Amino acid sequence: MIISVQTKAMIRRHATVEDFQNWESKAKSMTVAELMYAAKECREVASLWRGNDPMVEGFYDDQASTYGTVLRRRQLAAL
């Protein structure tokens, strides 16, 4: 029987400079497949919030954009 469940507090704020720096730093150690997956997941989460909470939607859109940008930089560097 489940006694308690720990959950993270919902992110209800705009992305900060520190968030972007953390995402960029994390992305450095991610594979191409991981970046693609993370960006896709963030876009899906953002779409779930669309029309309900623009702040949360924007936070996940920003995170997806950061991972997508790092992925694109890698693709261009490989040319």
Terminal alpha carbon distance of the chain: 55
**For the chain, which residues make up each domain, given as ranges?**
31-77
- Is residue 5 left, alpha or beta, with left meaning phi > 0 and alpha meaning psi from -120 to 50? beta
Q: For 65-77, write each residue's pLDDT tens digit.
A: 999 999 999 999 9
Q: Please give the Cα distance from 54 to 36 (Å, whole number).
A: 23
Q: For 12-64, write each residue's pLDDT tens digit.
A: 788 999 999 999 999 999 999 999 999 999 999 999 999 998 999 999 999 99
* pTM, rounded to two decimals: 0.82
